[in-house]
Amino acid sequence: MTIAPPDARAADDAALDDHRRDYESLAERLDRRGLRADDVVDAVRRFEVAVPSWALGTGGTRFGRFPGPGEPRTLDEKLEDAAVVHRLTGATPRVSLHLPWDDPRDPDALKAHAAQLGLGFDAVNSNTFQDQQGQRLSYKLGSFSHPDAAVRRQAVDHNLHVVEVGRALGAEAITIWLADGSNYPGQMSLRRSFDRVLDCLREVYAALPAGWRLFTEHKPYEPAFYATVVQDWGSSLLLAQSLGDRAQCLVDLGHHLPNTNIEMVVARLLGAGKLGGFHFNDSKYGDDDLTAGSIKPYALFLVFHELVLAERDRLPSFRPAYMIDQSHNLKDPVEDLLQTVDQLQLACAKAWLVDHDALAAHQESGDVLMAERTLKDAFETDARPLVAEARRRAGAALDPVRAFRTSGYRATKSAERVGGIVEARGL
């Protein structure tokens, strides 16, 4: 038995009058600041972010995993849940697959099912950081940087397979994150390991179908605790620049050492024409994969500010592939995704509320306080009516989490989806 996805509007009726009043009063206040609420609503409606297939099941840590009832058991069921997220937010029309976690046996059938649900596919992610059952050679000592050419061959072949599956699904990019590195000084050659990674990437790059891009994703540590081969944006940029125009860097918000100024990294990559994609999440300590905006919402806003500037300045290379990359360990995965999209839409709306002319003037005249206050004015505005209005105009829900809870979707799925185990990250 299947049920219709939650009706985005059903839970909204009672709240609609209040929403209209809130929106009009905010629009009036923005008007006094020389801003048009409708323009911000349009900008929020342009924002789209992909949902990763692995985030629809409960995540885990290496200490344990606590799955909830009604989780998807198959890739098709994950698509059903992804469609719910899109229906309620209007902002997630594409799914990102992670192979081999979610390797479709029949890509054509999966593509057809996704299309029925109103979904397409975004960047595909390869995985050479784990050994899979039946795998011939081990990645224990690396994949693209492994000293043994046969292991490197196996890892490249896996990436070529991922590109092939992605092509069949209509995706147009591959994201490559490598766990390659070492736990102890002396374990690997710091220079040769990087050269090997570049050589392997060249092979994947050469096989990209027309119109495709390749994203290199960096991360400072974990699982390699002494030295990771692609550890920061500098290494990532070197790789992307060596590969060519269709290679760009991907910034995962959790992949920076503490106190890194991530918006600076974003600005640098944008300036170099090399910002290709984003993995959104939040963190307190490391690569915690918490809900975006849950720990450092101002930092998220400042990142969005750079992205909005890039859009306003019409940077020619700016075509970012946005994805959520979180591990939903404690919250219902669908609810967590709904909350995440809301947080991203809010950060986006606030970034569009910045008075850019005033900011530029304060920068030119060296008025430090007023420049900062211009950003704060935008960040401290309660932008919730704007994102609710953007969703309403997209036929989605004013309040996606409320709509999801009212629908009883999870309870219905709990009765329907029994006896399955989903593949989960972190275990």
Please tell me whether residue 279 binds ligand LRH under the rule CB under 6 A. Answer: yes
| Number of chain residues interacting with ligand LRH (CB under 6 A) | 10
> Which is nearer to ligand LRH, 281 or 407 (by Cβ)?
281
Query: What gap in Å lies between CA 229 and CA 221, rounded to an integer?
Result: 9
From the list 71, 77, 217, 389, which residue makes contact with ligand LRH (rule: CB under 6 A)?
217
Please tell me whether residue 252 binds Mn ion under the rule CB under 5 A. Answer: yes
The distance of closest approach from Cβ of residue 252 to ligand LRH in the complex, given in angstroms and rounded to an integer, is 5
The distance of closest approach from Cβ of residue 23 to ligand LRH in the complex, given in angstroms and rounded to an integer, is 36
- Token pair listed for 251: 């910034």
The distance of closest approach from Cβ of residue 298 to ligand LRH in the complex, given in angstroms and rounded to an integer, is 23
Please tell me whether residue 102 binds ligand LRH under the rule CB under 6 A. Answer: no
> Which is nearer to ligand LRH, 286 or 356 (by Cβ)?
286
> Which is nearer to Mn ion, 80 or 252 (by Cβ)?
252
The distance of closest approach from Cβ of residue 287 to ligand LRH in the complex, given in angstroms and rounded to an integer, is 5
- Token pair listed for 235: 């290494």
Classify residue 31 as exposed, middle or buried by CB count within 10 Å of its CB (0-12, 13-18, 19+): exposed
Radius of gyration (Cα) for the chain, nearest Å?
A: 22
Is the CB of residue 160 less than 8 Å from the CB of residue 176?
A: no
Identify what 256 binds: Mn ion, ligand LRH, none; CB under 5 to 8 Å per kind.
none
> Which is nearer to ligand LRH, 359 or 422 (by Cβ)?
422
How long, in residues, is the chain?
427
Torsion, Cα 271 276 281 284, to 10 degrees, reads -40
The one-character DSSP state at 144 is T
SS (H, E, C) 236-279: HHHHHHHHCCCEEEEEECCCCCCCCCHHHHHHHHHHCCCEEEEE
DSSP string, 46-80: H---BEEGGGGS--EETTEE---TT---SHHHHHH
Query: What gap in Å lies between CA 117 and CA 38, rounded to an integer?
Result: 29
What is the per-residue binding string for ligand LRH in 340-379, x denoting contact by CB under 6 A?
----------------------------------------
SS3 322: strand
Please tell me whether residue 125 binds ligand LRH under the rule CB under 6 A. Answer: yes
Please tell me whether residue 287 binds ligand LRH under the rule CB under 6 A. Answer: yes
Please tell me whether residue 274 binds ligand LRH under the rule CB under 6 A. Answer: no
Q: Which stretch binds Mn ion (CB under 5 A): 6-14, 109-117, 325-333, 342-350?
A: 325-333
- Token pair listed for 338: 């709904």
The distance of closest approach from Cβ of residue 286 to ligand LRH in the complex, given in angstroms and rounded to an integer, is 10
Give the type of residue at 49: V
Query: What gap in Å lies between CA 264 and CA 283, rounded to an integer?
Result: 18
The distance of closest approach from Cβ of residue 290 to ligand LRH in the complex, given in angstroms and rounded to an integer, is 13
The distance of closest approach from Cβ of residue 426 to ligand LRH in the complex, given in angstroms and rounded to an integer, is 9
From the list 279, 384, 410, 425, which residue makes contact with Mn ion (rule: CB under 5 A)?
279
Please tell me whether residue 325 binds ligand LRH under the rule CB under 6 A. Answer: yes
DSSP string, 154-216: HHHHHHHHHHHHHHHHT--EEEEE---EESSTTSS-HHHHHHHHHHHHHHHHHTPPTT-EEEE
What is the per-residue binding string for ligand LRH in 159-198, x denoting contact by CB under 6 A?
------------------x---------------------
| Number of chain residues interacting with Mn ion (CB under 5 A) | 4
What is the per-residue binding string for ligand LRH in 219-258, x denoting contact by CB under 6 A?
x--------------------------------x------
Please tell me whether residue 417 binds ligand LRH under the rule CB under 6 A. Answer: no
Strand order in the sheet with 94-96: 51-52, 94-96, 120-121
From the list 325, 336, 389, 399, which residue makes contact with Mn ion (rule: CB under 5 A)?
325
The distance of closest approach from Cβ of residue 217 to Mn ion in the complex, given in angstroms and rounded to an integer, is 6
The distance of closest approach from Cβ of residue 52 to Mn ion in the complex, given in angstroms and rounded to an integer, is 9
Query: What gap in Å lies between CA 127 and CA 172, rounded to an integer?
Result: 18
Binding site for Mn ion (CB under 5 A): 252, 279, 287, 325
Binding site for ligand LRH (CB under 6 A): 98, 125, 177, 217, 219, 252, 279, 287, 325, 425
